[in-house]
Amino acid sequence: MAIQRLSPDVAAKIAAGEVIERPASVVKELIENAIDAQAKTIRVEAVQGGKRLLKISDDGLGIPADEVPLAFERYATSKLSSIEDLFRVKTLGFRGEALASVAAVSHLSMISRPSGQTSGAQIRLEGGEQKGLDRVGAPAGTMVTVEHLFYNVPARLKFLKADATEMGHIYRIVSHYALAYPEIRFSLFNAGRQVFQTGGSGDLYDVLVSVWGLAVAKQMLEVEEETAGGITVYGYAGTPALHRGQRDYLVLFVNRRWIQDRALAHAVAQAYHTFLPVGRHPVAALNVLLDPAEVDVNVHPTKAEVKFREPGAVFTAVQRPVRATITEHAPAARPAQAFGGEGERWAEGRQTGGHAGDFDHAADFGELSRAEFQRWSQLGLEAQRTRPVEEASPLALPDLPAALPPLRVVGQIRQMYVVTEGPDGLYLIDQHAAHERVLYEKLMAQKETGAIASQRLLTPLLLELTPAQAAVLEAEIKALTAIGFELEPFGGYSYRLLAAPEMLAAENLAEACLDILNEMVEGALPLARQTHEQTAVVVCKRASIKGGQTLSYKEMEELVRQLEQSQNPRTCPHGRPTMIHLSAYQLAREFGRH
Ligand code: ADP
Ligand code: MG
């Protein structure tokens, strides 16, 4: 095909796709606009997870009638005029892209009135094309209505998840901006029903209560404002007793912008080093303020990541006060020091051995182990690619059969992997992934025969949910019941847990349920699966042996036996490998014997 210019329509849709990924992205951009317009009240309404309708209203400065059409042109902004401005930008928006992007992929209507004008302007657009512009009576402020999002981008539409999941994403955006701006009153409505609200008192603690509930807020410690080297840090950090299986509860703001920065999140997590069980994440809401010239906010399409001129200084400035706060309140928990870095991890693992830490495959390798891991997995990959050559070796299997040969347990390393030997070499098994697979097949078999192993609780457990968790629970109650949960509403966002799948018996049930619901809110699961399978996957993830758990020889043998009997022993239900196989031939080659 010859090179040709994309039509403006196609170009606009592609550009929009960068910024607007799902209904929650629209909410994010429009909330940012309202905040930039100095709104004191922001109201968000969604219908069908925002796919059918989104309405964001604010009482901010409004847009003068004659500027309204211009606001929808790409690169039209009132927030920046020269490239130098970019390095002192104080507003959340600055690219002049959001309104144009949202309008390009929806039916949009905006009514806006600055308080100094007697009437407002209403504009309507479809697929970015202006369809109407009128004078209307309106309250001061701005109201944007977005309908039929992605109606003209079917590929995007297909990728949207269940209403409850999309609603969960919207809730996450609204609640996190509420945490960043305690002085603004936020409210969120799902199909006309209010699901979230903050009072706008200006007190972060009040918002913590609204977002995470009183039980969590009570365990949060205030990180008092501290300025070092021009970097100010303040907020709240959870006591070490308050940990979660997801990173979601670690919320960071840089110059009042909510960011998802892995490195900075890691710096905070490091402040909890040796205080949290392996694989668990802290709860915190922290603000970082620094000279805008020290941070580049223009490195990510949705502005979710930033780049610091001196990351090290920022990390230290954040870590120190958090660490000080938690050590002050938890003098009893003494960090293990005996062996320095790696030894510490060992000692830690021993102490917490048997504790159910939720291990996330990709994320929690230390530097050393990451290198190791890459090395191992490269070898594993090679094993697949070079098979034809390998067939020369009598020891190598002709093909990777689904079933496993009988394996002999050699031992455990890093409280994470089980080393085993088969007739054809070494098998390194990921204990968490392998156990997930075993449990998943067990649960599916039980479901097939209608013999779900469910355990009734002696006393029902009260679960206090967030609106997002409650929405998922309501939407997926059938799937949850089908695998052994029994839950009943108990007013508001409270539910009573009457029974739970037997495989969760050894867990802290309340914590397990919250983790499972959070995971479902996240929707981070293979798309094609049916909901009941997805739910089963999440439950198995929670119920399985975790990384960081020491296993006895017997336990390892039991796990390997069960894995041998699985139908698909080589992948976990998420599709990741449960094991790495190094054939005798590969071992010999690596040692230069060939
Ligand atoms: P950006 O926020 O990057 O400037 P947008 O496309 O989001 O770009 O908005 C374009 C312009 O429209 C903004 O610069 C601002 O002047 C105006 N605007 C958008 N939303 C609002 C609002 N809710 N209240 C007042 N002005 C707004
Ligand atoms: Mg904007």
Cβ atoms of residues 286 and 268 within 8 Å: yes
Cα–Cα distance between 309 and 572 in angstroms, integer? Answer: 41
* Distant-in-sequence, close-in-space partners of 72: CB < 8 Å, separation ≥ 6: 99, 100, 103, 123, 125, 128, 130
Residue 34, ligand 1, Cβ within 6 A: yes
pLDDT at 374: 39
Task: Count Cα atoms within 13 angstroms, Cβ side, for 500.
Answer: 26
pLDDT at 283: 93
Please work out, in degrees rounded to the nearest 5, the angle formed at the alpha carbon of residue 517 by the alpha carbons of 203 and 26. Answer: 60
Q: Give residue-wise pLDDT tens across range 196-251.
A: 899 999 999 999 998 888 888 888 999 999 998 899 999 999 988 888 877 888 99
- Residue 453: CB atoms within 10 A of its CB come to 13
Atom of ligand 1 nearest to the CA of 101: 6
Atom of ligand 1 nearest to the CA of 95: 3
Cα–Cα distance between 168 and 192 in angstroms, integer? Answer: 16
Atom of ligand 1 nearest to the CA of 91: 2
| Distance in Å from the first CA to the final CA of the chain | 49
pLDDT at 530: 58
- Residue 522: CB atoms within 10 A of its CB come to 17
Number of H helices, E strands in the chain: 19, 24
Cβ atoms of residues 312 and 223 within 8 Å: no
Cβ atoms of residues 113 and 139 within 8 Å: yes
Q: Which of 116, 19, 104, 102 is nearest to 63 (CA)?
A: 116
Residues recorded for the chain: 594
Tokens of 538: 């999440």
Sheet holding 417-422, edge to edge: 408-413, 417-422, 425-430, 579-583
Residues in the chain with pLDDT < 70? Answer: 330-402, 523-531
pLDDT at 568: 81
**Ligand 2 center–CA 93 separation, angstroms:** 4
Cα–Cα distance between 576 and 490 in angstroms, integer? Answer: 38
Residue with the smallest CA separation from ligand 1 atom 13 is 77
* Distant-in-sequence, close-in-space partners of 193: CB < 8 Å, separation ≥ 6: none
Ligand 1, pocket-test mutation among 25, 35, 36, most atoms within 8 A of CB:
36
Q: Is 75 left (phi over 0), alpha (psi -120 to 50) or beta?
A: left
| 3-state DSSP assignment of residue 11 | helix
Residue 141, ligand 1, Cβ within 6 A: no
Residue with tokens 């449990």: 439
| 3-state DSSP assignment of residue 323 | helix
* Distant-in-sequence, close-in-space partners of 92: CB < 8 Å, separation ≥ 6: 32, 33, 35, 36, 256, 257, 303
pTM: 0.63
| 3-state DSSP assignment of residue 500 | strand
Tokens of 336: 């293990």
**Ligand 2 center–CA 47 separation, angstroms:** 22
CA dist list (Å): 299 to 248, 259, 266, 268, 574: 22, 12, 19, 22, 31
Element holding 428 (H helix, E strand): strand 425-430
